[in-house]
Amino acid sequence: MLTKIKETTEFIKKSIDFNADLAIILGTGLGGLVDEIDITHKIEYKDIPNFPLSTVQGHKGVLIFGKIAGKNIIAMQGRFHFYEGYSMQEITLPVRVLKMLGIKTLIVSNASGGMNPDFKVGDLMIINDHINLFGTSPLIGPNFEELGPRFPDMSQAYDKELINRALTIGKQENIDLKIGVYAGVTGPTFETPAEYNYIRSTGADAVGMSTVPEVIVARHMGLTCFAISVITDSGVPGEIVEISHEEVQEVAAIAGPKMALLIKKFVEII
């Protein structure tokens, strides 16, 4: 694995001379942020050695180098999910490569089902903690001390300072921001009502199929993390209705502009 990470990092370094402190994983809902990037260079995932390919409709596969608000950033347009059949190590390889390229901070976005009755569809939720319900971890297997410790601390996986800054921007820009715990599950099924109840009882406010593996790997390597979720459907008893991937994408697209505005302002002050 270490060899692959180094090989991929070397390939990117040879392709482009670019330094960035920040990377953004443009998950569902944040696709529109691409329009805010002053793009210097793009590499398609299919041309990057060892990068998996996104198999999900609506998820692109391009690594973007450019500027937002005058700051150099690297953006992943398209991410990988465990349910696609890749291993935990494969879906998190890009995050490890980003760290090797020199980033210090990782911003992640996703779509999720809201189980907190105070949330409504279309809300944005800042993730202040997570619960790994994948039943596995990207850190299982030999530990590479040069990447991080065998037993990484997770007492504050989502940076408090960045959360507070986002809340301040939300107030300034009149963007209503919820805050809560994200439970990560494998999918690809959406939850049964009994599963939503169960996941809610674990202490989670929202549930989705990504982010947790990436943040575990990022924290292992000491990256500062910030994550935000768009609530695309309800997992609250009595409010649960049939949903589809298309509907999730539609709601995420509607919430997209406020998410993009928030992240743009956020990058300005980071």
User: Within 10 A of 51 (CB to CB), how many other CB atoms are there?
Assistant: 24
Q: How far is the CB of 233 from ligand HPA (least distance, A)?
A: 5
* Distance of closest approach, residue 190 Cβ to ligand HPA, in angstroms: 5
Nearer to ligand HPA, 29 or 170 (CB): 29
**Residue among 129, 73, 69 at smallest CA distance from 101:** 73
Smallest distance, ligand HPA to C-beta of residue 13, A: 34
- Give 182's DSSP letter: E
Tell which residue, 216, 210, 23, has the closest CA to residue 107.
Answer: 23
Instruction: List interacting residues with ligand HPA (CB under 6 A).
Output: 111-113, 187, 190-191, 207-209, 232-233, 235, 248
In 41-192, which residue ranges form alpha helices assigned H by DSSP? Answer: 88-100, 160-173
Q: Which is nearer to ligand HPA, 88 or 248 (CB)?
A: 248
The region, left, alpha or beta by phi > 0 then psi within -120 to 50, assigned to residue 50 is: left
* Closest approach of ligand HPA to the CB of residue 192, in Å: 11
In the complex with ligand HPA, the residue whose CB is nearer, 59 or 99, is: 59
| 188 prior amide bond cis, ω within 30 | yes
- 3-state secondary structure at position 61: coil
Q: Which amino acid is at 241?
A: V
Specify the 3-state DSSP secondary structure of 46: helix
Rg (the chain; Cα; Å) = 17
CB of 82 to ligand HPA, least distance (A): 12
Q: Which is nearer to ligand HPA, 207 or 227 (CB)?
A: 207
- By C-beta, is 74 or 199 nearer to ligand HPA? 199
Closer to ligand HPA at the Cβ: 152 or 187? 187
Q: What are phi and psi of 179, to 5 degrees?
A: -140, 140
* Backbone conformation region of residue 58, classed left if phi is above 0, alpha if psi is from -120 to 50, else beta: left
**Considering beta carbons, is residue 92 or 210 the nearer one to ligand HPA?**
210
Q: Which residues of 205-234 are buried (b: 16+ CB within 10 A; e: fewer)?
A: bbbbbbbbbbbbbbbbbebbbbbbbbbbbb
Query: What minimum distance in Å lies between the beta carbon of 116 and ligand HPA?
Result: 13
Closest distance to ligand HPA from the beta carbon of 199 (Å): 9
